Structure 1
Amino acid sequence: MKKMKNSIKLMLAAVICALGFISTLQAQEYQKGFRLGFGLNTGYLTGDEYSVGLGADARLQYDVSKKTSLAFTTGYTHFFKDNLPDDGFIPLKMGFKSFLGNKFYVLGEAGAALGVINDTGNTFLWTPGIGYATRHIDLSVRYENYNEYLTNQVALRLAYGFSLKKKNR
């Protein structure tokens, strides 16, 4: 578990460095159409059952305007326990993303968490969050509420995204 905590500290240091890099990039340019992003997540779990959460996700986003997008997110999240078997689930969420300015946004998603380890079961999942996005980098913090699990999560996501729209030549 000590290795896991050191890995989280290293990931947080990388995120802080990425924030410095992100601040030098230009604002994200939005065009109506689809975007795809791949992210890594780490989280602080609020219950006593688990010690840390790690995951990866893919988010398909449809930009309906310069300020508003629809999002579908899935992936895998793993909850680590001290001295007990771990748990894992696949989140399936749909929601919206609304930009407050050029780079900062709010995000709201809802869906299901499908348990895949130790008969965890399925549960309703809702996720409000805030983030900062450039043309390719997306950094966000979100709260994940798992209706039937014994914990909730405050998670940090660092993602790389790109447009699926073909450029005119």
Structure 2
Amino acid sequence: MKKLLLSLALVAGLGLAANAQTEGAVKKLSIGAEVGLPTEGGDLLIAGGSLQAEFPIAKSLNLTGSAGYLNLMLTGDAKDLAKAFGAPTSTGVVPLKAGVKYYFGGNFYAAGEVGAAISTEDGGGTALALAPTLGASFSVSDKSSLDFGLRYENWSKDGSSSGIIALRAAFAFGL
């Protein structure tokens, strides 16, 4: 958790050093790597990737649509225990979400998405996914940028919920 917060602080520092430029005025597609941790319990690591499309609807406001794959992997004692009983040590989730992204202060943004987190396991079902995000986008050329976002994502199903804190590092290009 401390490493995730330190990474976000580093991204914020880089943003202050970069030239301020409003990123929200163009259509773009980004491809990113994701890593995260659960908000409860410590023997789980989340890793995966995602695609996100952005479509401007106002000067600093974009509609977003995203899809990806997250692998939830047991670690430590939990992994050893699962192996001992012949249980799986990882599972997959396919998040499909839509939302909005608002750019403020040039490179920085706040976003919110809602959608579904679909389990890849038989009988795993589908959960409601809610994901607020804070991040920054840095231009590397006229039509491309690097995007770093830190989000809390909550999955709710059948009266229970679970959350993750995840960092997404992505390369975005204009469409």
Which TM-score band (shorter chain)?
A: 0.7 to 0.9
> Which residue in 2 is equivalent to 1:61?
54
1:159 matches 2:173: no
**Higher strand fraction: Structure 1 or Structure 2?**
2
RMSD: 2.6
1:130 matches 2:141: no
1:55 Cα shift?
1.2
1:47 Cα shift?
3.1
30, 33, 40: which one aligns with 1:37: 30
Letter in 2 for 1:64: I
1:47 matches 2:58: no
Count of aligned pairs: 155
TM-aligned CA distance change 1:22 to 1:159, over 3 Å: farther
TM-score (norm 2): 0.76
Letter in 2 for 1:153: I
SS of residue matched to 1:127: strand
TM-score (norm 1): 0.78
1:152 Cα shift?
1.1
Per mean C-alpha deviation after superposition, the further-off stretch among 82-91 and 151-160 is 82-91
> Which residue in 2 is equivalent to 1:167?
none
Partners of 1:47 and 1:67 in 2: how far apart?
Answer: 35
Query: Structure 1, residues 117-142: CA drift from partner, whole Å, max 9, x if none?
Result: 35422110000010111220111110
Q: Percent same amino acid at aligned positions?
A: 28
